[in-house]
């Protein structure tokens, strides 16, 4: 745990427990240098303080990269979403929200993350007693739901900029997407609409592969009706095999720590865009750079959700959200790649230099 602490934070780690409901959770407020910590709540059986800290730190960098008036934070509730009734899940979220009144909304503004959506944000905000406690709420509560696809939309534009940087035509590339939840669904949709060929897509049940191309509309319909991309006609492999596919682009959109050091030599793709948070360690990212594989870091590529959250936070419109996501993701991806080339450093290192400078300029308690 001690290795979590450095010159930037974390400022607060709260662990909460409700004995009767069995709710156990935590929030890590990594930094409030640029504003209240901003970051979602995830509900999984394995979420840990260390994982939540890594995600909170990613949010510190993500908000700085997007140049938003937010710091970084993240919340986690330990529970198996699949084994809960709606009433049970609401009870856990409500008790978590009540426990977080001491920091929300002044020091932490939440949002939906894994297994959380607009309904849970309504429960959370009511439990805290403030609509400012979170974003991603239902429209009737002033929300701009993440279900609109803002994160996937931003990732798509990061891919577009990276391909332009590599002098590649999106209509002539093949790609694979790890994860077909909200993020994966929308980035796949936008990529296919732009003319890219989808040849691999995975979910928790496995990896679907079709070198001739996967029809997005057919895939979406099968996923909705049958619950898995593996029901689509084609070859099915173990999910992790996605990293070995002979494709131009891999987009991560689900689990953390997908790419391990031992995977680097097997990756054929020349571009990896991190739609999921902490898809790999920083060391693995540097290793890929040395192997001449371009990686667009998570906090650069997948900031669409938090940019959308900011627009909701200030009472902006959905139309303003789309425009701001596109402009910020495009500009930031281009800036990072330009600096990477000019300074002969990896995209992650280039991005880190930018965000650290932006946080330090505002931080009164950081160790400089």
Over residues 15-42, the mean pLDDT reads 96
Active-site annotation holder among 74, 94, 223, 328: 74
Range of the structural domain that residue 45 is part of: 2-59+73-143
pLDDT at position 364 is: 80
The number of folded domains in the chain is: 2
Indicate whether 29 pLDDT > 80: yes
Domain CATH number, residue 332:
3.40.50.720
Indicate whether 35 pLDDT > 90: yes
Calculate the average pLDDT of the chain.
95
Q: Which of 115, 143, 171 is the last residue of a domain?
A: 143
Question: Are 196 and 262 members of one domain?
Answer: yes
pLDDT digits (tens, 9 = 90+) for 122-157: 999 999 999 999 999 999 999 987 778 999 999 999
Is residue 132 included in any domain, yes or no? yes
pLDDT at position 71 is: 97
At 2, the pLDDT band (50, 70, 90 cuts) reads low
Q: Which of 125, 143, 161 is the last residue of a domain?
A: 143
Question: Are 322 and 230 members of one domain?
Answer: yes
At 11, the pLDDT band (50, 70, 90 cuts) reads very high
Cα separations (Å) of 352 from 299, 328, 347?
10, 17, 8
Of 290, 314, 300, give the one whose Cα is nearest residue 353: 300
Is residue 192 included in any domain, yes or no? yes
pLDDT digits (tens, 9 = 90+) for 77-100: 999 998 899 999 999 999 999 999
> What are residue 235's DSSP bridge partners?
209
Question: Are 290 and 316 members of one domain?
Answer: yes
Q: Give the whole-number percent of the chain exceeding pLDDT 90.
A: 90
- pTM greater than 0.95 (yes/no): no
pLDDT at position 152 is: 97
pLDDT at position 1 is: 57
Indicate whether 363 pLDDT > 90: no
At 351, the pLDDT band (50, 70, 90 cuts) reads very high
Q: Which residues contact 167 (CB under 8 A, 6 or more apart)?
A: none
Question: Any catalytic annotation for residue 74?
Answer: yes
Q: Is 244 left (phi over 0), alpha (psi -120 to 50) or beta?
A: alpha
Residue 69 parent element (H or E): none
At 366, the pLDDT band (50, 70, 90 cuts) reads confident
pLDDT at position 368 is: 60
Question: Are 231 and 179 members of one domain?
Answer: yes
pLDDT at position 296 is: 98
* Residue 362: burial class (beta carbons within 10 Å; 0-12, 13-18, 19+): middle
Over residues 347-354, the mean pLDDT reads 97
pLDDT at position 143 is: 92
Question: Are 35 and 174 members of one domain?
Answer: no
Q: Which of 94, 112, 143 is the last residue of a domain?
A: 143
Beta strands in the chain (DSSP E): 12-18, 23-31, 37-38, 41-44, 71-78, 108-109, 174-178, 197-203, 206-209, 235-237, 249-252, 271-274, 294-296
Domain CATH number, residue 85:
3.40.50.10860
pLDDT digits (tens, 9 = 90+) for 171-225: 999 999 999 999 999 999 999 999 999 999 999 999 999 999 999 999 999 999 9
């Amino acid at each position: 745990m001690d290795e979590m602490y450095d010159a930037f934070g974390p400022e607060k780690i709260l662990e909460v427990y409700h004995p009767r409901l069995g709710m156990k959770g935590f929030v890590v407020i990594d930094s409030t240098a640029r504003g209240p910590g901003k970051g979602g709540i995830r509900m999984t059986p394995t979420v840990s303080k260390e994982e939540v800290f890594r995600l909170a730190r990613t949010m510190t960098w993500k908000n700085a990269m997007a140049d938003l008036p937010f710091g970084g934070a993240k919340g986690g509730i330990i529970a198996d979403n699949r084994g809960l009734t709606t009433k049970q899940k609401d009870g856990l979220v409500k008790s978590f929200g009540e426990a977080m009144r001491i920091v929300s909304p002044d020091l932490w503004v939440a949002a939906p993350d894994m297994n959380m959506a607009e309904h849970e944000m309504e429960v959370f905000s009511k439990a805290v007693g403030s609509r400012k406690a979170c974003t991603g709420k239902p429209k009737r509560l002033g929300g701009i739901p993440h279900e609109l696809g803002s994160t996937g939309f931003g990732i798509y534009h990061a891919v577009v900029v990276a391909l332009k940087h590599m002098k590649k035509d999106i209509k002539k590339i093949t790609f694979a997407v790890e994860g077909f939840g909200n993020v994966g669904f929308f980035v796949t949709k936008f990529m296919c609409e732009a003319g890219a060929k989808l040849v691999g897509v995975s979910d928790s049940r496995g990896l679907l592969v079709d070198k001739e191309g996967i029809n997005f509309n057919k895939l979406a319909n099968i996923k909705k009706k049958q619950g898995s991309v593996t029901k689509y006609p084609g070859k099915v492999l173990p999910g992790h095999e996605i990293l070995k596919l002979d494709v131009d682009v891999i987009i991560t959109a689900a689990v953390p720590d997908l790419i391990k050091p031992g995977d680097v030599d097997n990756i054929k793709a020349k571009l990896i865009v991190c739609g999921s948070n902490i898809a790999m360690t920083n060391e693995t990212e540097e290793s890929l750079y040395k192997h001449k594989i371009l990686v667009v870091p998570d906090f650069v590529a997948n900031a669409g959700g938090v940019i959308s959250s900011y627009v909701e936070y200030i009472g902006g419109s959905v139309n303003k959200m789309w425009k701001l996501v596109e402009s910020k993701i495009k500009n930031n991806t281009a800036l990072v790649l330009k600096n990477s080339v000019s300074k002969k450093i990896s995209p992650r290192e280039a991005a880190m230099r930018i965000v650290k400078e932006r946080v330090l300029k505002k931080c009164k308690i950081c160790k400089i």
